[in-house]
Amino acid sequence: AVASAGMRVLIDDVDQGVTLSSNGPENSGGHVWESDPLEPGDHVVKIVPYNSPFVGIVEGVEFINQDEHSGFRVYNGAHSGGDVAFFNHYEPMDMHWESVSAMNLDLAVVALGANDISHLTTEQFLTGIDGIIERVDPGIPILLLGGYLRGDYNPEEGPLKWAAMQ
């Protein structure tokens, strides 16, 4: 999720009663939630904005899990305003990376660049993404998810820089 809006988890359009948020007292750590066991079959997981004045942008994923004895675990590692340097060099993020490691992830999803384009060069950004990839435990597949170009960023130079970053 992008922005500090709280997000709700729905499975098969049923609200699971959990709010994931990137906003916290120290903006560190993450939010962990695991579903109850699900019936056999295909299920759709949605993460949608919770009652908030902020706009939440969700990079959606549909999980299909054939193991009826395991639910879905969703880890929202987003941090409002965080950029690649924040995830690589900000000391309180050590707790974030410990949490990520403890999750035994099946897939790590990294959304790219919305908070980086305004103040980093393309080279700094790509080096920062490499640093994030190195922090994910070896053997865990990583999906790099192209983001969106913020409408408030330099309309003349923005699209070319964004294309290079993506």
CA 8/CA 21 separation, integer angstroms: 9
pTM of the complete model: 0.56
- Rounded CA gap, 119 and 99, in Å? 28
- What is the residue whose two structure tokens read 């056999």? 40
C-alpha distances (whole Å) from 71 to each of 1, 129, 161 are: 21, 30, 40
pLDDT tens for 54-100 read: 555 443 344 445 554 566 666 677 777 788 888 888 777 777 787 77
